[in-house]
Amino acid sequence: MKISITDEFLWDVYKLLEKAGDVADSAFKPITMRNYLPGEECPIFKKYKHDKNKRKFSNLMYYLKKNGYIKAKKIENGQGIMITKEGIDKALKASFVLDGHKKRKDGKWVMLIFDIPQKQKTARMLLRSILSNLGYKLFQQSVWISPYDISEKTEKLLQLHSLENYIKIFLIEKL
């Protein structure tokens, strides 16, 4: 399935940070636009920043900054970008679209049960949005299920938004 250039770019940035183990520290360790490796340009920027498309790349960067998906930061060897919480969230959602809806090979279902206090209504709404975007379906009130292999992405998003203390995730064989 085709996704937008914005989502693709954010997913590429996320994968690079994940490979380096810096996703959680991305606010402190920005990806540099120059001198990514000695004598090389960052592979992500190389992919998107062609001589003919410098304007498009510039517009993409502007759009991402304006919408709060990335932040630009000056560092000692040039300028870098940091992916924000919103950017990570969007990247993980894009990865689900890219990967497609792959059902679990073992035939089990992922069941997620949550209990978020009424006082934290915004957190509950955020969780419902995340679950819906990942492909979960409402089974009962506060119980969501999915036949897809998305446990890892779910856990990452829950940790990113500090919701893991309110959630229990189970693998079940039958409904």
Contact, 26 vs 83, CB < 8 A? yes
Delimiting residues of CATH 1.10.10 domain(s) in the chain:
5-89
Mean pLDDT across the chain: 77
Between 37 and 139, the more confident residue is: 139
* Of the ranges 20-24, 84-88, 166-170, the best mean pLDDT one: 166-170
pLDDT tens figures, 13-30 = 777 777 766 544 444 445
CB atoms within 10 A of CB 66: 9
Strands (E), the chain: 31-32, 70-75, 78-83, 109-114, 137-140, 143-146, 167-172
CATH 3.30.70.240 segments of the chain: 101-172
Which tops the pLDDT comparison, 102 or 112?
Answer: 112
114 bridge partner residues: 167
Span 76-105, mean pLDDT? 76
Best-predicted range by mean pLDDT among 33-42, 43-52, 101-110, 137-146?
137-146
Domain 5-89, architecture per CATH: Orthogonal Bundle (1.10)
Structure tokens at 162: 């500090």
Q: How many CB atoms lie within 10 A of CB 140?
A: 8
Residue 100 CA to residue 81 CA, distance in Å, equals: 28
CATH of domain 101-172: 3.30.70.240
Q: What percent of the chain has pLDDT over 70?
A: 78
At 54 the pLDDT is: 74
**How far are the Cα atoms of 10, 12, 19, 127 from residue 73, in angstroms, in the given order?**
17, 19, 21, 30
Task: Give CA–CA dist 174/92, Å, rounded.
Answer: 27
Lowest mean pLDDT among 52-56, 89-93, 150-154: 52-56
- What are the two backbone dihedrals, phi and then psi, of residue 68, each rounded to the nearest 5 degrees? 80, 20
- Selected residue with higher pLDDT from 2 and 112: 112
Share of the chain above pLDDT 90, in %: 14
Q: Which residues 6+ apart lie within 8 Å of 17 measured at CB?
A: 23, 26, 31, 83
Asked if 71 and 82 touch (Cβ cutoff 8 Å), the reply is: yes
* pTM summary value: 0.63
